[in-house]
Amino acid sequence: MISQKIYLRYNRTMKFRNRMFYFACILLATISLLSCDTTEETLNIESTIVASINEAFDNIPTPTPIILATYTPLPTYTPFPTYTPTIIPTITPTYTPLPTYTPFPTYTPLPTYTPFPSPTPTPIVKVSTMLDKIKNSVVKIQTNSKKGSGVIIRENGIVITNYHVIAGGNFITVTFHNGSTKSGTLIASDISRDIAIISLFGEGYEHLTLGESQIPEIGDSVYALGYPLRGNYTVTAGIMSSTVTLSKGPYKYIQTDASLNPGNSGGPLVDEYGNLIGINTSRMETSEGRPVQGVGYALLVKDQEDYINGLIK
């Protein structure tokens, strides 16, 4: 910037000197034309002009030389190094295969719910109610020499009892729970099974039905019904101890601890629901004829149903 200012100043000075020189020349020429008659005057005028011009030149200030700034050359261009691109390795992605497609199983509709039939609950029957209901089915059997018990098994007056109760008798009298009596007729008997079938006249008798019971299990409650001893209606309770065979034959008997006394023979043994399960037959006695307590026997009716029905026909 400083060098440029010095240069401009020098340039103006030179232009001013040139103008003054031209002006002096023009003035000198003009005077020469106007003063052609007098040589001396002309010379004086010329001298005056020359002197004036010289004086003017002398008064022009000596221009200060312009010192141009020393040129500092630009630094030698150093080319940038050739760009060598860094090779970025191509990353090959590791291919992870998709899991093998597992097809969904074909939808199988649930089967229509079929409710299981609920077993009809066995009503809980009070024992006293059950015994009261069946008491009219139990009868007292008397002959001219013996007495025992029996049970009506059909509404037409069919009674089953032990054979030894009526054996040797000339007549049979049947007494009901209300005290009324009827004559009975022996229609069939089996000494080996110790059973006898008696028929009563009439219809509509209260009775226990063969075939409604199942073989009881050990420990089940049982009840012995009849007219023992003095002939009064009684009930004794116990359990089923086991099923046994006696020396009388291959027939099964229920062993029970329910008390069986003289007069109970031929009467019914029922389960807790009042079903006929046995015919009271005997009790165990010692060799002296004394009863063994808690051991009595009743013919298992379930095994004899078909045979008894055959006798009745």
Which residue, chain included where needed, has tokens 């080996």? 192
Q: How many beta carbons lie within 10 A of that of residue 77, not counting itself?
A: 6
Tokens of 97: 């295969």
Radius of gyration for the chain, computed over Cα atoms and rounded to the nearest angstrom: 79
Are 213 and 180 in contact, with CB atoms under 8 Å apart? no
Question: What SS3 class is residue 312?
Answer: helix
Rounded Cα distance, 240 and 222, in Å: 6
Catalytic residue flag (residue 241): no
Rounded Cα distance, 153 and 212, in Å: 11
Rounded Cα distance, 191 and 251, in Å: 12
Which residue among 194, 207, 271, 282 is the active-site one?
Answer: 194
Give ∠ CA 74-77-78 in degrees, rounded to 5: 140
Q: Which amino acid is at 191?
A: I
**Residue 46: φ, ψ to 5°:** -60, -45
Which residue, chain included where needed, has tokens 């023992």? 228
Rounded Cα distance, 91 and 113, in Å: 61
**Residue 168: φ, ψ to 5°:** 85, 0
Catalytic residue flag (residue 194): yes
Which residue among 137, 213, 265, 282 is the active-site one?
Answer: 265
Q: Which residues are within 8 A (CB) of 252 and not within 5 positions of it... i.e. 6 or more apart?
A: 243, 244, 245, 299, 300, 303
Rounded Cα distance, 204 and 99, in Å: 84
**Residues annotated as catalytic (active site), given as ranges:** 164, 194, 265
